[in-house]
Amino acid sequence: MVEIISVSNLNGYIKEKLDSDVLLSNVWVKGEISNFKRHSSGHMYFTIKDKAGAVKGVMFRSRNNCLLFEPKDGMAIIAKGYVSVYERDGLYQLYVEEMHQQGVGTLHVAYLQLKKKLEKEGLFDHGRKRPLPKFPRRIGVVTSRTGAAVRDIVAVIHRRYPQAHIILFPVAVQGEEAPGQICEGIRLANDIKNLDVLIVGRGGGSIEELWAFNTEVVARSIFASNIPIVSAVGHETDFTIADFVADMRAPTPSAAAEIVVPDFRDIQKNIDMLEQRMLLGIKKIIYTYKEKVNFLVESQIIKKPQDRLYRMMQDLDYLTKRMAQAAKLNLTEKKSSLALQVSRLDDLSPLATMKRGYSICRNPGGRVVDSVKRVRTGDAVEVIVADGSVDCVIKNIKEGAYGSR
């Protein structure tokens, strides 16, 4: 008996067969885009075709957010994804997970590998990047002689900072000879003395056209340069290995020119502002000293300088008088004190005592006889009285207190 199935069952069966095929679950397809449409949801719908056939393709928004380019009709691409069936329409299609322009996929892999290698070696370290001079006098440019990049750079520098001297090192910026010529241009620039900064770059282009600036030899030449280098390759969205190695990256050649030189009009404005501030400062200083001079001119010491001299002379006379009075008073006090001390000495003097009838008896040795035991009968002694002395001989010795008879 013949089995009859529904359309949805048929489509489901085919989908199951396709989904279970290992080859179709991870396939790379190359061709040309046609009928491209980006839906309002963000999903992309298109056809990939070659001379002999075509296949429907879809790339959901979650996947195409990472694209580095905008797909267009007629663009040659390489797409990676899986084949399955859209059951509603019974349509098999390629569900794209990754897309590259033809030739770009291989280059992108090489770019990532070299970037990882040089980053590991330290060529991208920010610590080794040098600051650019603020006021460069001599600027080197390594680029094509005929490209728009050199015209833009020269025009911007002449407009912003006409004092600068530009030295061009013409090189090929794409093709097989480009990496070697760019390296030679950097080397020649380093051989010239007093070159302040170097711009290395070119205008925009495809990844193939910019590839010379993704080569290892150019990266190492930039790293080895003794002159600070500004990399200016392509447009703002283009990033090359040269950008990571250079001391500074500029999004465009024109931007590089703006980075390396100041705008002399801004400098002139700053100079004018500083000049005004300096003049105001000088005027303020002059005004301050003028006020001080006017004050001194109006002061009494300037108008009548003799007044101060007279006052000082009067002060001197007054102090002299005070000093004499103080000296006299001090002398009087000293005399009174001396008289008092003399009076006290007189009261204590043995002469005053002898005037009252007392005498001093001394033996021949000069010792005072203060006891009968110090003399003997017949000894000669000297008796000193208030107005002289008397030599005597001891005739009799009586012991006992003077008043005990």
245 Cβ contact partners less than 8 Å away, ≥ 6 residues apart? 118, 123, 124, 219, 222, 223, 231
pLDDT tens sequence across 344-353: 877 777 777 7
Give the SS3 label for residue 286: helix
Which of 9-18, 94-103, 319-328, 363-372 is most confident? 319-328
Residue 169: exposed, middle, or buried by beta-carbon count in 10 A (0-12, 13-18, 19+)?
buried
pLDDT tens sequence across 254-312: 999 999 999 999 888 999 999 999 999 999 999 999 888 888 777 766 667 777 778 88
Yes or no: say if 160 and 264 are a contact pair by the CB < 8 Å rule.
yes
What's the confidence (pLDDT) of residue 35?
A: 93
pLDDT tens sequence across 67-104: 877 888 888 888 999 999 998 888 999 999 998 887 66
Residue 253: exposed, middle, or buried by beta-carbon count in 10 A (0-12, 13-18, 19+)?
buried
Q: Which of the four pLDDT bands, split at 50, 70 and 90, describes residue 405?
A: very low
Alpha helices in 130-215 (DSSP H): 148-160, 178-191
Q: Which of the four pLDDT bands, split at 50, 70 and 90, describes residue 197?
A: very high
* CATH architecture for residues 137-262: 3-Layer(aba) Sandwich (3.40)
Pairing status of strand 360-362 against strand 380-385: antiparallel
CATH class of 7-102: mainly beta
Return the domain boundaries, the chain. 7-102, 137-262, 352-399
> Distances in Å between the alpha carbon of 165 and those of 74, 132, 138, 155, 379?
46, 16, 5, 12, 135
pLDDT tens sequence across 114-152: 999 999 999 999 999 999 999 999 999 999 999 899 999
Yes or no: say if 73 and 57 are a contact pair by the CB < 8 Å rule.
no
